[in-house]
Chains A and B, each alone.
Chain A
Amino acid sequence: MNMQQAIKMTAAETALVDAYTAQIGDLPGDGAVLSVRDTLVHELKTAGLPTRRVESWHYTDLRTLLRAVPAADPSAFAERVEALVSGATVFSVRNGHADFKGNAPEGVTIRSYTDSLLDGSAAAGLAVLGTDDAIGRINGGLVRGGLELSIADGTELEDPLEIQLVQSLGQAHTRFPVSFGANTKATVIERHLSTNAAESLISSVSDITVGEGADITWIILQQQGAADTHLGQIRFDLAADAKLHLFIINAGGKLVRQEIHGKTSGEGADFKLRGINLLGGESHTDVTFTLGHNVPHTTSTEVIRNVVFDRAKGVFQGKILVAKDAQKTDAKMACNTLLLSDDADLSAKPELEIFADDVQCGHGATVADIDHTQLFYLMARGIPENKARAMLVNAFVAEIVEELDDEPLVEALESVISTWLDKHA
C-alpha cells in the first residue's frame, strides 16, 4: 500500500494545489523553473502541510491551523502607502505584483524577479532548505513576482530602501533575492501591510547575501490584517567581516510564521537578531530561527521580546549550530516574554548544538507579568493604570528598538509599537 496516497488532503492543501493547477501555463518560468515547481507542488500534495509531528513545526501545526486559503483575485487593487521614513526609496509590491520602475539610488541595480523566473536564472534558488521547508515549497510552487536587488561594492546608502508589500485580499507569493557587495552599507525595510479586513495569504522569501565587510540593517515589519496568514522566510549568508542586524517586528496577522535561516561563511562575521512580537486577539505567531556558525571567529546575539495579550499564542524556536571547525564562536540568545492575560500563551524553545570545543554560547528565556512595583511607582505619580501599563509594556520593547542607531527609523518603529499598544492594551 502506498502511504502517500493515504493522506486525505485538507481544504487548505487542496486550495493550494488547485491554485497551482489553475495557473499552469500562466505561472512565469522556463522549463527548469517549471520542473522545480512541479516537484514542489507534488511534494506538497503527497506530504501535505506539516503537522506537530514534524519537529520544526511542533508548536505550529500548519495542517490544522491553516483552515482555508483565499483564492487569488487578479483584479484586486491595493494602494501604495507612505514610506515608513521620509527619504526612503520605495519599491512597491501590490498584491504580489512588483513595480520596479522607480528610480533606484546609485549603486543599486534592480530587476524584476518575474524576468528571472522567465529566463530560468531563478531556478536554483527555488530549491527548498529541507524536507520540512513548507514555506519554501508553497512559495517556490506559486511565486509570480518580486524583485532582485544588487548593491554594488562600496555603495553606502544614506536613506533606507523600502520594499513595501501591500495586500488587499486573496493570495500573493513573492521573492526577493538581494546581494550586498563588499563594504556596502545599507538599511532595507521589508514591510508587509494589509489595506483592509479581507482575508489574505501571503508567502514571501527574502534571500540575501552579505559581502565582505558590509554593514547591513534589514527590518521586517509585519502589519498584516487580523484575518491574514503570513508565511515569511529570510535566508542569509554572511561573508568575512560582514555585519547583519536583522530586526523583526510582528504586529499583525492571524496566523504568522516567520522563519530566519542563516549562516556565517567568513571569519569575523557578526549577526544580530532583534525581534519584537506584539500579539493579541486569537492570533498565532511563530518565529523560528536557525543559524549556522560555520567558520571560526564569528559572533551572534539574538534578543526576542514577546508581548502577549488576550488569547494569543506565540512561539519562538531558536537553534544555533556551531560547526566542528567554528572555534571562538560567541553566540548569545535570549527570549523574554510579558504574558498579559491568563489565556495568553508562549512556547520558547532555544537550542544550542555545538560541535566545536572552544566557544562561548548561551541562551536564556524568561516569562513574566508586569512588575507591580514599577506599576505602583507610575500610578503614585498620577498616571492611570491603563496608561502606566502601556508605558511599561512599551518600555519592555522600546529598549531594543533604541539599539537601532537611526533616529527617524527608531521614531517610526516606536510609533508603530505605541499605536498597536494603544489599540490592544
Chain B
Amino acid sequence: MLEIKNLHARIAEDGTEIIRGLNLTVKAGEVAAIMGPNGSGKSTLSYILSGREDYEVTEGEILYNGENILELEASERAAKGIFLAFQYPVEIPGVATMQFLKVAMNEQRKYRGEDELTTPEFMRRVKEAAAELKIAPEMLRRPLNVGFSGGEKKRAEILQMALLEPKLCVLDETDSGLDIDALKIVADGVNALRSPDRAVIVITHYQRLLDYIVPDTVHVLYKGQVIKSGDKTLAHELEANGYADIIEAAA
C-alpha cells in the first residue's frame, strides 16, 4: 500500500534536512509502529505523507497504491484515503464542528466522483460514530476543537478518521496527553478500523500505546532514516533498553 524509497526532505524555509534516505514499506492490513527519539523526523514524516507544504522533498519517492503522491495537494491525498491524526489538532474558531465534518466528507466524495451524503444520512453516521467514541453531542456543537480538552481533541481526531474511512491512517503521537481511560477509548476506535484493506502507521514515543494497538511491524527512526525494523518484540526491547544500543549498532 505504501512504499517510501530513499526519501530526502528538508524544511522549506531554512533548508534543514530532516529526512535523510528513508525507506519504508507498509502493506494493506498492516499496523506499523514508528518509534524513535525526539527529533528523529517522526512528525515530519507524517506531515510529508499528508502533504504539508512547509517541507520540501529533494530526493526519492512515495508510492501510495503504486502512485507517486508527491505532486498531489494535501486535500487530494486525503480524498484518496490518506488520513493524518494530528499530534496537536488545530482549533478553528468560527467553523462549526458539524459543518466541518459534512464539508470534509462531501468534498472527499465529490473528488472520488461519489454522490454527496444527504443530511439525514450524514447525521446518522456522525451520531453512531460519536457514540462509539463516547463523544457527547454538546462537543459537536462547539466550534472545531475549540475548548476541547486534550483527550476530547484526540477522540475528535479518531471520530474524523472513522467518518472519513481512510485507507492509510497515520497516527502522530495520538497517545500524548491521554490518561489511561481516554487511551483505551482511542485505541478501541483505531482497532475497530483495522481491516485487511486498511493500513495504519502509529507514530509514538512509548511502548504504552502499542499494548492497546498491537503492531505487526515496528520501525526505529533515527536522524531521518529507518535504522532497524522488526516485529512487536522490538518495541518491548526499546522500552527496556532505550534507543542507545540500536543507534550504536546502526552507526
Contacts and interface: CB of A to CB of B under 8 A. Distances in A.
B146 to A, nearest CB: 10
Contact of A379 (B74, B86, B89, B160): B74
A87 interface: no
8 contacts: A385-B73, A391-B95, A392-B95, A394-B95, A395-B143, A397-B94, A398-B94, A399-B94
Contact of A384 (B51, B73, B84): B73
B78 interface: yes
A45 B131 CA distance: 72
B177 interface: no
Nearest to B163: A381
B73 A377 contact: no
A382 B92 contact: no
- Tell me which of A374, A384, A397 has the highest count of chain B C-beta atoms within 10 A of its own C-beta: A384
Nearest to A399: B94
A9 interface: no
A399 B93 CA distance: 7
Interface residues of A, number: 23
Interface of B: 50-54, 73-75, 78-79, 83-84, 86, 89-90, 92-95, 100, 103-105, 107-108, 111, 143, 160, 164
A391 B164 CA distance: 19
A388 interface: yes
Contact of B107 (A372, A376, A383): A383
Contacts of B50: 380
A387 B50 CA distance: 18
A379 B92 contact: no
Nearest to A373: B90
Given A388-B75, A391-B95, A395-B95, A382 B107 contact: yes
A396 interface: yes
B78 A382 contact: yes
Nearest to A381: B104
B104 A376 contact: no
A397 B94 CA distance: 8
Interface of A: 372-374, 376-385, 387-388, 391-392, 394-399
Contact of A374 (B52, B54, B92, B107): B92
B103 A383 contact: yes
Contacts of A397: 94
Contacts of A385: 73, 75
B51 A377 contact: no
B172 to A, nearest CB: 11
A377 B90 contact: yes
Given A382-B105, A395-B93, 11 more contacts: A372-B54, A374-B90, A380-B51, A380-B74, A381-B75, A382-B79, A387-B103, A391-B100, A391-B103, A394-B95, A399-B93
A379 B95 contact: no
Contacts of B52: 376, 380
Contacts of A388: 75
Nearest to B86: A377
B9 to A, nearest CB: 16
A395 B50 CA distance: 24
A385 B76 CA distance: 10
B114 to A, nearest CB: 12
A11 B54 CA distance: 52
Contacts of B104: 378, 381-383
Contacts of A396: 94
A322 to B, nearest CB: 31
A399 B92 CA distance: 11
B107 A384 contact: yes
Contacts of A398: 94
Nearest to B92: A374
A374 B79 CA distance: 18
A394 B94 contact: yes
B94 A381 contact: no
Contact of B75 (A373, A383, A391, A394): A383
B128 to A, nearest CB: 19
A46 B147 CA distance: 59
A395 B94 contact: yes
A379 B90 contact: no
A203 B93 CA distance: 37
A392 B91 CA distance: 11
Contacts of B108: 381-382
Contact of B84 (A380, A387, A394): A380
A37 B50 CA distance: 67
Given A376-B52, A382-B108, A395 B92 contact: yes
A280 to B, nearest CB: 20
B116 to A, nearest CB: 13
B148 to A, nearest CB: 14
Contacts of B94: 394-399
Contacts of B111: 382, 384
Contacts of B73: 379, 384-385
Nearest to B112: A382
B189 to A, nearest CB: 17
A385 B75 CA distance: 7
Contacts of A392: 92, 95
Contacts of B51: 379-380
Contacts of A379: 51, 73-75, 78
Contacts of B92: 374, 377-378, 392, 395
Contacts of B160: 381
Contact of A381 (B93, B143, B164): B164
Contacts of A377: 86, 89-90, 92
Contacts of A391: 95, 100, 103
A387 B95 CA distance: 13
Contacts of B103: 383, 387, 391
A164 to B, nearest CB: 29
A377 B97 CA distance: 13
A392 B143 CA distance: 12
Given A383-B107, A391-B103, A376 B74 contact: yes
A373 B86 CA distance: 11
A39 B51 CA distance: 66
Contacts of A399: 93-94
Instruction: Pick the most buried of B53, B78, B83: most chain A CB atoms within 10 A of its CB.
Output: B78
